[in-house]
Amino acid sequence: MDEQTRRQRWKELEDRTFEQAGETHPESGEPAVRWLTSEELDELRRDMKEASAWARAELKRRKA
Supply the Cα-derived Rg of the chain in whole angstroms: 19
pLDDT for 21 beyond 70 = no
Higher per-residue pLDDT: 56 or 2: 56
pLDDT at 48: 97
What is the tens place of the pLDDT at every residue in 26-62? 777 777 677 888 999 999 999 999 999 999 999 999 9
pLDDT at 20: 56
Whether the CB-CB separation of 64 and 58 falls below 8 Å is answered with: no
Average pLDDT (18-23) is 59
| Tally of CA atoms within 13 A in the half-sphere of 6 that contains its CB | 3
pLDDT at 45: 96
Q: Cα separation of 64 and 62, whole Å?
A: 5
| 5 backbone dihedrals φ, ψ, rounded to 5° | -65, -40
Whether the CB-CB separation of 32 and 23 falls below 8 Å is answered with: yes
